[in-house]
Amino acid sequence: MASHGIEIKNLFKIFGPRGKKYIDAVMGGMSKTELNEKHGHVLGLKDINISMPAGQIQVVMGLSGSGKSTLIRHINRLIEPTTGSVVYEGQDVCQMSKSQLQAFRRHKTAMVFQKFALLPHRTVLGNTVYGLEVQGIGKDEAKRRARRWIDRVGLTGFEDHYPNQLSGGMQQRVGLARALTNDADILLMDEAFSALDPLIRTDMQTVLLDIQEELKKTIVFITHDLDEALRLGDRIAILRDGEVVQQGTGQEIVLKPADAYIADFIKEVNRGRVISVGTIMEPTPIEGDVIVELKPEDMLEVAAQVMAQQEEIRANVRDNTGKLIGSLRLKAVVDAMVTAATH
């Protein structure tokens, strides 16, 4: 399935009855506090520009009140923007007519919610077919497709259970199956795993990554959990007070935090799982006998493990084409894993 990227350009959202009136003032630099105190309007999003890559996972991270849930709702326009555009396949979602928007939501997007938002009066199967039912697809066909995804998320045997009979983790599997059954290019996940226990959360992340390996959808994943963001995100955008403070890959953010706020955020991160060998290797391979060979995409944790097992302090790096492209010393690995970033 050919996925497309999502381009968010100059997106502003001001909550309140006359949001449009204050847009110029906000563009001119009026602060969130001033807008709220003097005019009683709330600045939700300020000048968001994110280019979400096709077929990859874009994580939007931020604490509560940072505007991340507002942002994801602009992609399928559950919230109307004040100004700006969200472009998908050359079409601006913000300019779509009602019927265009309905078709876009039915065929191009699917969403998973923090609080699951399942239909309590319907069984697992009844919930899973919902998207297809809305599209007007026949019952038998819808059930056939839904069963496949129920199986894929590991709910076989629970088709006839009601959501209330399931645990939180299983309910969210239903939410995921419901979204995947829709077979849409874009998967919107609004803090989809935040309400789950840590172990189940990790489990669900694995399920998602496995599925993504196969489907290559354009996934927008909202979270407040940095570990989750680093594990899932091909790209990460960090939001604070409705503004993007930094975006890039997980490594970029961990290695070069844009400001003290983010530096504070990443302090507790397990860097060995985020930084890859390719990032810190020396560009010259070591001549002669080197026992350990690593791949550039290996994470430092793996590198340290392998070198320690072999009782080696040196390793060469070989890329997928079989060419030696660099080398690495254990000291550099340990340094990168433990040194807090300075800026």
Partner 1 sequence: MSLFTEFPDMSRSELRDFKKAIDGAFKDFIHAYGQGIEDFFKPLLYFLKWFENLLVGTPWPIMLAIVAALVWFGSRSLWLVLGTVASMLLIGYLGMWENMMYTLALTTVATLICIILGIPVGILMAKSNRMQAIITPILDIMQTIPAFVYLIPIVIMLGIGLVPGLIAVIIYAVPPIIRLTNLGIRLVDPDILEAADAFGASPGQKLWTVQMPLALPNIFAGVNQTIMMALAMVVVASLLGVHGLGLEVLKAVNNQYITLGFMNGLAIVAIAIIFDRTSQRFGKRLQKHSEVIHG
Asked if 100 touches partner 1 (CB under 8 A), the answer is no
Q: Which of 41, 105, 173, 201 binds partner 1 (CB under 8 A)?
A: 105
* Segment 128 to 187, residues that bind partner 1, using CB under 8 A: 130-131, 133-135, 162-168, 170-171, 182
Residue number with CB closer to partner 1 (33 or 102): 102
Asked if 113 touches partner 1 (CB under 8 A), the answer is yes
Q: Which of 27, 63, 103, 308 binds partner 1 (CB under 8 A)?
A: 103
Distances (CA, A) of 296 to 299, 304, 313, 320, 335: 8, 14, 17, 9, 17
By the 8 A CB rule, do 89 and 140 touch?
Answer: no
Helix (H, G, I), strand (E, B) or coil at 87: strand
By the 8 A CB rule, do 253 and 246 touch?
Answer: yes
Count of residues near partner 1 by CB under 8 A: 36
Q: How far is the CB of 113 from partner 1 (least distance, A)?
A: 6
Asked if 121 touches partner 1 (CB under 8 A), the answer is yes
Residue number with CB closer to partner 1 (222 or 303): 222
Q: Pairing state of beta strands 324-329 and 314-318?
A: antiparallel
Length of the chain, in residues: 343
Where would I find the beta strands (DSSP E) of the chain?
Answer: 6-15, 42-52, 57-61, 83-88, 91-92, 109-112, 186-190, 218-223, 235-240, 243-248, 292-294, 314-318, 324-329
Q: How far is the CB of 97 from partner 1 (least distance, A)?
A: 13
Residue number with CB closer to partner 1 (105 or 143): 105
Other C-beta atoms lying within 10 Å of the C-beta of residue 267: 11
Residue number with CB closer to partner 1 (71 or 255): 71
Q: How far is the CB of 230 from partner 1 (least distance, A)?
A: 27
Asked if 88 touches partner 1 (CB under 8 A), the answer is no
Q: Which residues of 300-317 are buried (b: 16+ CB within 10 A; e: fewer)?
A: bbbbbebbeeeeeebbbb
Q: Which of 117, 207, 290, 304 binds partner 1 (CB under 8 A)?
A: 117
What distance in Å separates the CA atoms of residue 321 and residue 327, rounded to the nearest whole number? Answer: 16
* Segment 194 to 223, residues that bind partner 1, using CB under 8 A: none
Instruction: For tokens 């189940």, name the residue.
Output: 200
Q: How far is the CB of 92 from partner 1 (least distance, A)?
A: 18
Residues that bind partner 1 (CB under 8 A): 76, 78, 101-107, 109-111, 113, 115, 117-122, 130-131, 133-135, 162-168, 170-171, 182, 188
